[in-house]
Amino acid sequence: MSALAYCLVAWLFLIGIYGVVTSRNLIHLVVCLSVAQSATDILLLEIGYRSGGHAPVFVSLPARPGPAVDAVMQALALTDVVVGAAVTGLLLALVVQLHKRAGTLDPDALRATRD
Amino acid sequence: MSRRARLAFFAVAAAALAMTLGAGLAGLPSFGGQVTAYARMLNRLAPPQRHVTDVVSAISFDYRGIDTLFEEFILLGAVAGISVLLRPLSDEARVLPEDKAPDRAIPPPSPAVWLLAVILSSLLVLAGIETVTHGQLTPGGGFQGGVILASASYVAYLGTNYVTVERFQPAPLLEASDGVGASGYVFIGLLGLLAGASFLSNVVGLGVTGNLISGGTIPLLNLVVGVEVAGGFAILASEFLDQTVVIRTRRR
């Protein structure tokens, strides 16, 4: 179970980077980067997970609620999501301006920045 | 570099990365096992100490409040950066779309779309305010609620038109709410210094656990973050829409 959970993180990260490397469209590339970044969210939540644990919200709990999962990791995942949104927004703004200058979204066709 | 060479280069790098990542992940505690002592302590102490029921909010806005201050300024910086990147460039101008056929009336949006937008956007405003104000009690808070509030304006764009929405949310108002939200966090932090404690100390009355007004500065910080995030994301929508609607290349 442990191996499967952590392999998912490695797979998601690598598949995202693979998408970035092979992308033929800059918007697709930004989405691939978000996929790679979501691996870190899942890793944080997995580190904080506890079998049979409930959310770290102590309201309307059953009589014997059992342990709570790690709230620190959830707070860090929140930070990660916000930073991810900021990065995605900035990159998309760059893509918009790049498309105006270069007239293409294909990274391979950006002659001026190659060689 | 050709595509084939790039893929080969990636394969080597990815194999090395996978091995390093695997070794690192293998060293982590087993999935679903014990959580750290820090987390167990916070889960036990936060509700009685800060009079909140959502420990994630207590960590984000109290125990690690300074982290969230920086996080908020990252978001502010990103929104400012996007506004700068998407400004009219030297060969562009802001031109409001003009009606090229004034003799023909523009068909209004279909009543179904309009009704759906009205219902959805009002529900989204309600859900957003609920999420922002209940951050100390249930999952949610300023960041999540702020995004929901901003999405209400996205729905309004879909259901009406660009000019109408821009009239109801002028850019100065959005920019002001973005800035007021960000600086409000600092001012609430300064309350701690005024009270003789350290920056961002929870010095406001804590209230009764489980009530809407409880948790001291935590709901106040959620509120300013909610204002900042809602303003910031509404600015983003309007900046990206400006690119297609009003920013035109100047004719030579």
Please give chain B's pLDDT, 252 residues, in tens: 688 898 999 999 999 999 999 899 888 888 888 888 999 999 999 999 999 999 999 999 999 999 999 999 999 999 999 999 999 888 888 887 777 888 888 777 788 998 999 999 999 999 999 999 999 999 989 999 999 999 998 898 888 878 888 888 888 899 999 999 999 999 999 999 999 889 989 888 888 888 888 988 999 999 999 999 999 999 999 999 888 888 888 765
Strand partners, A74: none
Q: Best interface-test mutation with B: which of A6, A27, A40, A80 has the largest number of B CBs within 10 A?
A: A6
φ/ψ (deg, to 5) at B100:
-80, -15
Q: For chains A and B, what is the number of CB pairs under 8 angstroms? A: 141
Task: Tell me, yes or no, whether A99 lies in a domain.
Answer: yes
Task: Tell me, yes or no, whether A61 lies in a domain.
Answer: no
The average pLDDT across A84-90 equals 94
pLDDT at B252: 57
Strand partners, B157: none
Q: How far is CA B79 from the centre of its chain?
A: 10
Q: Distance between CA A76 and CA A48 in Å, rounded? A: 10
Q: Distance between CA B87 and CA A93 in Å, rounded? A: 10
The count of domains in chain A is 1
Task: Tell me, yes or no, whether A112 lies in a domain.
Answer: no
How many of the other CB atoms lie within 10 Å of CB of B100?
Answer: 6
Q: For residue range A28-69, list pLDDT tens digits in order.
A: 999 999 999 999 999 999 999 998 889 999 888 888 888 899
Q: Choose the closest CB to B28 out of A6, A68, A87.
A: A6
pLDDT band at A88 (very low <50, low <70, confident <90, very high): very high
**Residues of A (43-102) whose Cβ lies below 8 Å from B:** 43, 46-51, 53, 55-59, 67-75, 78-79, 81-83, 85-87, 89-90, 92-94, 96-97, 100
The average pLDDT across A81-95 equals 94
Domain span at residue A75 reads 2-49+68-105
Residue B129 vs residue A110, higher pLDDT: B129
Residues of A in Cβ contact (< 8 Å) with B150: none
pLDDT at B79: 95
Residues of A in Cβ contact (< 8 Å) with B18: 10, 14
pLDDT at B166: 82
Continuous segment of H or E residues that includes residue B93: strand B92-94
ipTM: 0.87
- Say yes or no to pLDDT of A81 above 90: yes
Q: Are A20 and A36 in contact, with CB atoms under 8 Å apart?
A: yes
What ranges do the domains of chain B cover? Answer: 36-249
pLDDT band at A115 (very low <50, low <70, confident <90, very high): very low
Q: Chain A: nearest CA to B48, how far in angstroms? A: 11
B235: closest CA among B115, B134, B146?
A: B146
CATH of the domain at A27: 1.10.287.3510
* Residue B11, Ramachandran bin (φ over 0: left; ψ between -120 and 50: alpha; else beta): alpha
Residues of B in Cβ contact (< 8 Å) with A43: 25
Sequence-separated (6 or more) residues with CB below 8 Å from residue A113: none
Q: Chain B: nearest CA to A4, how far in angstroms? A: 9
The average pLDDT across A2-19 equals 92
Q: Choose the closest CB to A78 out of B32, B60, B240.
A: B60
For every residue of B114-140, DSSP letters joined together read: HHHHHHHHHHHHHHHHHHHHTTTTSS-
Q: Contact A92/B137, CB-based, under 8 Å?
A: no
Length of chain A: 115
Global pTM reads: 0.89
Chain mean pLDDT for chain A: 90
pLDDT at A28: 96
